[in-house]
Structure 1
Amino acid sequence: MRENWSLRSYDIRDGSTISIEAKCRLGKKPVIYLYLPFDIDVSVKLSLIPEWSLSVIYPIVATEGHGQRLEWNVRTHQDGSLTEHNSGLDVSYLFWEAETNLPHSPASKPQPVDTFSPTSSSLSDTDSVVIPVDKITVYLDKSLKVLGLHTEARTSFITYWLPSILKHEYIALRFVPQAAYECAASLSISPQPDVVTRVFMLFRGISEEHLANWINAQMSAERDVAWWVDVVGVDLVRAGDMTLFRVLEWGGMEVLI
């Protein structure tokens, strides 16, 4: 993730108080695929919590609530493509990114484990895996495949994040439970899908000198990647049933400490 800091400058004198407001772009490239065995009109509404504001949308539609809500109206096609009604654009998926609205002071209470907030997200030795950067692509491909991402989605996911990943020696990563992610970025789709799969990854770079703090996470990297299915909460049977209305979303963000 590229940092996108905007700073306010002031006439600083002896005894002055310095106030800095920063925005850091998070929620990178969540994309939403819609799959149905027939063509229908679908409404896709996305609502973000106040800690997030939409920064990039495609196809472009109007936003509401200080950039925290939007609605796409599309026509689905059996090949997986979509036609956005307002623009007439034919697209493979719906795309959004968001920036954090950072609080002026740190949160006083830690986030419960079953919630997700873009301003206080973290990874720990107990909920993550740590992998050498030269092994990350194979691990990610296996994990994303078991989570239900098809070949194009896995390829797009990995190649999008690879430039950021390759800057580090080791990577700590985890996938956010769908229920927790839904609380931060709610999807409302009509008609209602039969199954929704939302895969959102958090990651951060780890230097070799800090590996001793990640012993459990290194051991977890040796586990069968199927354990992420239970963590995220994926219904693989229904997600793979091509007779159903299926929604698939993937996205992620780099956690900067």
Structure 2
Amino acid sequence: MPTMMPSGSQPQPQPAPGILIVSASGRDLACALPNTLSEAMASAGERWCIPNNLVFRLGVKKKEAPGYLANTAQGDLIILGDDAVYQVVKMGKSVLRTEIQVYATKDTHVAEESKWCLSALRDRLTPRFCRIEAPPPPPEPVPIGITVENAKGKMFRLNTKALPEVNMDWSQSQGGQTIAGNFLGQLTIKSKTDAEGRINFHGKEIESGLNFSNLTSASGQVKTVQMRSCSSKPFIQLFSPIEQFLTLEICLASSWKCVSTWPTSEIKKENGKQTVGFFLRVGPGGVVEDVVSGSKTAGLSWEAVPEPGTARLSPDDKTPFDPANPDLVDYNGVLVPTKDFATRLDKILNEQFQINPLVRTSFMADIVPHLLRYPHIAFRFLPQDFYEPAASLAIRPTPEITGRVFLLWQGVKDAGKWKASKKREKMPINWAEIVGYNAAQFNKDALFRCVELGWMEVV
């Protein structure tokens, strides 16, 4: 029979079930709030799968417990040592947040146990629980030799120390060998009477793929150091006698990393190579419209930086272009004084490649500021079949003629090491023929044409 309640009486509300939250290593597990500490310990051990050979305790933050328990805290955590403390802490709470404190094995006395950080639980809770290895020590300064050139052009040898990267291999520096590279640091020249020596350098090697230039004050002192990537920014133009839609895809070798495009496009990576695709509309006048974004431009541009690769032992003219290890050496380059190089380069682009004035002006404005840091410039234009494996270009429908002009250049401070290149300075070199670029064909408006122009500094 149903139980009858006296007239006018109200049903008594039942207490809401509480929640126990057990935290460890930034993760929370929740369960029903147990009535006793032993039940809470069993629930925590089961949910966190703590091995039986480990000792653990539950604790609460000081702010979660009455103030008179503060003196029992270990740091900011109050360990729940027995059920009486547990009952006081959970009294009146619908949610109780606890943290697990893990100790050594059960064979170790509590007074002597070394506490473990709970981040170990997530990665190391196995029957063969082991201690976390200490992180490796920071790298020590390594003795190196540096060839220094002062403001007056005088060269001298400097034996000093530099701080290497953590994973840098300095084995080549043993046995009197040298490591060529860029170092950034502070060079101090002391008085002749200094017992430690006149010159000290403390610095760090600049990672691969970066170069630096400096801005100086009027007095010649270094004011600012600028870090920059050794990037390449080719520009692509498309000329079509009729309006048509087309797809254009650039596929980069693994030794190149694409960092941006204009118009912007998704950069995809597959099998170690990056690809960038466009869906375009072109027509008479040279305007290129990116159908996806609606941008209308004079062409496309993409920027890439070299990725460190395996150095070739004997580069030669039969080796395809590798952006991480570009081939520009004395036997295949031309050395020109910097004061003459910009004018000579502009003349080559105009007369031999017949690049239109707008693109040529943009190209020269981009490259000239980088040249002025060096007294001489070594350069070469790559044959198209050398350049193509590093950055293949696929256009559908296919243009009737495609020309890809890519310049490699390098700043040179010691012209004496480039004797063969210096002799070629006065030689009449037909770069268009070396590249495989028929300038006359690119002036025919009736043909569907593609022209790409780019450069990269060899560091």
Aligned to 1:102: 308
Aligned to 2:396: 190
Report the Cα distance in structure 1 between the residues aligned to 2:250 and 2:443, rounded to whole angstroms.
Answer: 24
TM-score if structure 2 supplies the norm length?
0.50
Matches of 2:322 and 2:139, distance apart in 1: 36
Whether the aligned pair in 2 keeps the contact of 1:165 and 1:171 (CA below 8 Å) is yes
Contact 1:45 1:71 in 2 (8 A): yes
Gaps of 5+ in 2: 1-135, 141-163, 169-206, 211-228
Q: Deviations over 1:63-90 (max 9, x none)?
A: 2116710111111131111110110011
Does the alignment pair 1:253 with 2:456? Answer: yes
| Cα offset, 1:22, TM superposition | 4.2
What is the 5 A alignment of 1:1-257? 11-12=137-138, 18-20=166-168, 22-24=208-210, 25-65=229-269, 68-103=274-309, 106-107=310-311, 109-114=313-318, 115-145=320-350, 146-207=352-413, 210-225=414-429, 227-256=430-459
Equivalences, count? 242
* 3-state SS of paired residue (1:120): coil
Q: What amino acid is the match of 2:344? A: Y
Residues 1:23 and 1:212: Cα distance change in structure 2 (over 3 Å): closer
Q: Give, as a single letter, the amino acid of the residue that structure 2 aligns with 1:133.
A: T
Greater Rg over alpha carbons, structure: 2
3-state SS in 1 of match to 2:421: helix
Unaligned runs of 5+ residues in structure 1 are 1-9
Relative to the length of structure 1, the TM-score reads 0.87
Residue pair 2:259, 2:304 contacting (<8 A) in 1 also: yes
Query: How far is 1:38 from its partner?
Result: 1.7
CA RMSD of aligned residues (A): 2.2
Q: Deviations over 1:119-160 (max 9, x none)?
A: 111312221111111111211011112123111122111111
Q: Which letter maps to 1:164?
A: H
The answer (yes or no) to whether the contact 2:258–2:304 under 8 Å persists in 1 is yes
Deviations 1:133-189, CA, capped at 9 Å, x for gaps: 111121101111212311112211111100001111111111111111001000000
1:3-54 deviation line (CA, Å, top 9, x unaligned):
xxxxxxx74167x993157444444210100011121112110000011111
Deviation by residue 1:207-255 (Cα, 9 ceiling, x = unmatched): 2xx2222222222121224x11121111222222121011110111111
Q: Aligned partners of 1:94, 1:125: CA distance in 2, in Å? A: 33
CA distance in 2 between counterparts of 1:127 and 1:112 reads 9
Tell me the distance in 1 between the aligned counterparts of 2:317 and 2:428.
23
Q: Does the CA-based 8 Å contact 1:26-1:97 persist in structure 2?
A: no
SS where residue 322 of structure 2 aligns?
Answer: coil
Q: Partners of 1:172 and 1:156 in 2: how far apart?
A: 21
Flag the structure with more relative contact order, 1 or 2, with Cα contacts below 8 A and sequence separation at least 6.
1
Whether the aligned pair in 2 keeps the contact of 1:27 and 1:251 (CA below 8 Å) is no
Q: Which amino acid aligns with 1:234?
A: Y
One-letter amino acid of the structure 2 residue matched with residue 163 of structure 1 = P
Alignment-derived partner of residue 3 in structure 1: none
Q: Which secondary structure state, in structure 2, belongs to the residue aligned with residue 29 of structure 1?
A: coil
User: What are the Cα deviations for residues 60-117 of structure 1, in whole angstroms up to 9, with x where unaligned?
Assistant: 11121167101111111311111101100111110101122213xx425434423100
Partner Cα distance (2:394, 2:165) in 1: 44
* Aligned-partner Cα distance in 2 for 1:82–1:108: 39
